[in-house]
Structure 1
Amino acid sequence: MRITVLTVPDCPNAPVVRERIAAVLDGEQAEVELIEVREEAEAARWQMTGSPTVLVDGVDPFAVAGAPASVSCRLYRDEEGRPGGAPSVEALRQAFAGTGADASAPVEECCVDDRGVLDPIGRAGRGRRAPDERGLRAVHQAVLRHFAATGDAPEPAGLAAAAATAGRTAADVLAELDREDFLTLDDDGRIRAAYPFSAVPTGHRLRLAGGVEAWAMCAIDALGVAAMLQQDVTVTSCDPVDGRPITVTLTDGTARWEPGEAVVFVGQRDQAGPAATVCCDALNFFADPTTAAAWARQHPEVHGRIISQAKALRTAEQTFGPLLAQD
Structure 2
Amino acid sequence: MSATRITVLTVPDCPSAPLAVERITSALDGGEATVELVEVRNEAEAARRGMTGSPTVLIDDVDVFAVPGAPTSVSCRLYRDEEGRAAGAPSVEALRKALARAQECCDDDLLDPIGRAGRGRRAPAERGLRVVLQAVLRHFAATGSAPSASDLEAVAAEAGRIAHDVLAELDAEDFLALDPAGRVRAAYPFSSEETSHRVRLGDGVEVWSMCAIDALGIAAMLGQDVLVTSCDPVSGHPVTVSFTSGVAQWEPEGAVVFVGRRPGQGPAAELCCHALNFFADRSTAGTWARRHAEVPGRITSQAEAVAIGTRTFGPLLAED
Normalised TM-score (structure 2): 0.77
1:183 aligns with 2:176: yes
Partners of 1:242 and 1:318 in 2: CA distance = 29
1:215 aligns with 2:185: no
Partners of 1:283 and 1:175 in 2: CA distance = 26
Partners of 2:146 and 2:36 in 1: CA distance = 53
Per the TM alignment, residue 76 of structure 1 is displaced from its structure 2 partner at its CA by: 2.2
Letter in 2 for 1:247: T
Letter in 2 for 1:182: F
Q: Where do residues 232-311 of structure 1 align in structure 2 (5 Å cutoff)? A: 232-311=225-304
Would the alpha carbon gap of residues 251 and 278 (structure 1) be closer, same or farther in structure 2, given more than 3 Å must change?
same
Once the two structures are superposed, residues 56-76 of structure 1 have per-residue CA deviations (whole angstroms, 9 ceiling, x without a partner) of: xxxxxxxxxxxxxxxx87832
Letter in 1 for 2:216: L
CA RMSD of aligned residues (A): 3.2
1:313 aligns with 2:310: no
**Which of 45, 56, 60 is 1:75 aligned to?**
45
Per the TM alignment, residue 16 of structure 1 is displaced from its structure 2 partner at its CA by: 6.3
Would the alpha carbon gap of residues 169 and 106 (structure 1) be closer, same or farther in structure 2, given more than 3 Å must change?
farther
1:164 aligns with 2:161: no
Per the TM alignment, residue 305 of structure 1 is displaced from its structure 2 partner at its CA by: 1.0
Is this contact kept in 1: 2:50–2:281, CA < 8 A?
no
Is this contact kept in 1: 2:262–2:272, CA < 8 A?
yes
Partners of 1:228 and 1:95 in 2: CA distance = 30
1:206 equivalent in structure 2: 199
Per the TM alignment, residue 108 of structure 1 is displaced from its structure 2 partner at its CA by: 4.2
Of 226-235 and 269-278, deviating more is 269-278
Would the alpha carbon gap of residues 155 and 254 (structure 1) be closer, same or farther in structure 2, given more than 3 Å must change?
same
Would the alpha carbon gap of residues 78 and 256 (structure 1) be closer, same or farther in structure 2, given more than 3 Å must change?
closer
Would the alpha carbon gap of residues 297 and 34 (structure 1) be closer, same or farther in structure 2, given more than 3 Å must change?
closer
Would the alpha carbon gap of residues 93 and 212 (structure 1) be closer, same or farther in structure 2, given more than 3 Å must change?
closer
Could you tell me which runs of 5 or more consecutive residues in structure 2 were left unpaired when the two chains were aligned: 65-97
Per the TM alignment, residue 125 of structure 1 is displaced from its structure 2 partner at its CA by: 2.0
Is this contact kept in 1: 2:60–2:299, CA < 8 A?
no
1:326 equivalent in structure 2: 319
**Which of 28, 31, 35 is 1:29 aligned to?**
31
Aligned residues: 281
Secondary structure in 2 aligned to 1:205?
strand
**Which of 125, 131, 136 is 1:138 aligned to?**
131
Secondary structure in 2 aligned to 1:296?
helix
1:102 aligns with 2:99: yes
Partners of 2:33 and 2:102 in 1: CA distance = 20
Could you tell me which runs of 5 or more consecutive residues in structure 1 were left unpaired when the two chains were aligned: 6-10, 36-50, 54-71
Secondary structure in 2 aligned to 1:237?
strand
